[in-house]
Amino acid sequence: MAAAAGKRTNWFAIWISIAVVAVLVVAAVAVVWINNSATSAGPAPDSGIVNADTGAISVGDGGDVVATYIDFMCPICNQFEQIYGQTLQDLVDDGSITLEYHPVAILDRYSQGTEFSTRAANALYCVAESAPEAVTPFVVSMYENQPAEGTAGLTNEQIIGIAAEAGAEDAAACITDRTYDRFVAAMTGDMPADENGSRGTPTVTVNGERIELTGDPQLDIVDRIG
């Protein structure tokens, strides 16, 4: 009897192993699908201020370039805007820098399935295409109306209203149709990673060099240019 018991098949362990393998297969398929989606960029916005290769939306024409990678659901991005926004605008206004907005979508999972991050990033491209002068006012207003993580985010109609108030009344159809969703996904996949290979927002580079933010615009930005 003892020998028979020793040969008893552990079906529980087998089913657990099968389940684990199934999960890994599904995860691998998902990764392949995501990677394929990210590399199929779709159409780029037809705008003189949008770089079709990098996704940068350029404001200003200064010799030094400050690039910001932002997700409109990201509360730290909003903090960055409050601390650094005026300094960046002043540097744009006096011709010191070109400010690049890179709208990305890494926080869709925090908007109850509405993909707010993607919709908001798409909207910024729509604004850049229809009314380039409205880009910065739109960014500022989107942060002023930022939804909390874990909520459904703003509706398309609300985003359209913000765009119209910023001066981009003609962006409505592009926002509703989510014209640049695939472009957003591709640019999100291409955003720079940190030394550990992780991607997060806000990410800021000055003349191509990724910087660690200290909360001091003078130290982080002003002292690095010119």
Closest CA to 69 of 163, 210, 180: 210
What is the residue-level pLDDT of the chain in tens, covering all 226 positions? 444 444 444 433 334 344 444 334 434 434 444 444 445 678 999 999 999 999 999 999 999 999 999 999 999 999 999 999 999 999 999 999 999 999 999 999 999 999 999 999 999 999 999 999 999 999 999 999 999 999 999 999 999 999 999 999 999 999 999 999 999 999 999 999 988 889 999 999 999 999 999 999 999 999 999 7
- Asked whether residue 71 is assigned to any structural domain, the reply reads yes
- Asked whether residue 21 is assigned to any structural domain, the reply reads yes
- In this prediction the pTM is 0.82
Count of beta carbons in the 10 Å neighbourhood of residue 218? 10
- Contact (Cβ atoms closer than 8 angstroms) between residue 194 and residue 205: no
Q: Can you read off the two tokens belonging to residue 143?
A: 């942060």
Q: Give me the DSSP letters along 7-55.
A: T---HHHHHHHHHHHHHHHHHHHHHHHHHHHHH---PPP--TTB-TTT-
Domain that holds residue 201: 57-224
Q: Are residues 66 and 132 in the same domain?
A: yes
Domain of residue 117, CATH code = 3.40.30.10
- Contact (Cβ atoms closer than 8 angstroms) between residue 36 and residue 174: no
Q: What pLDDT sits at residue 27?
A: 42
Q: Are residues 211 and 165 in the same domain?
A: yes
- Asked whether residue 90 is assigned to any structural domain, the reply reads yes
Q: Is the peptide bond before 202 cis (omega within 30 degrees of 0)?
A: yes
Task: Provide the number of structural domains found in the chain.
Answer: 2
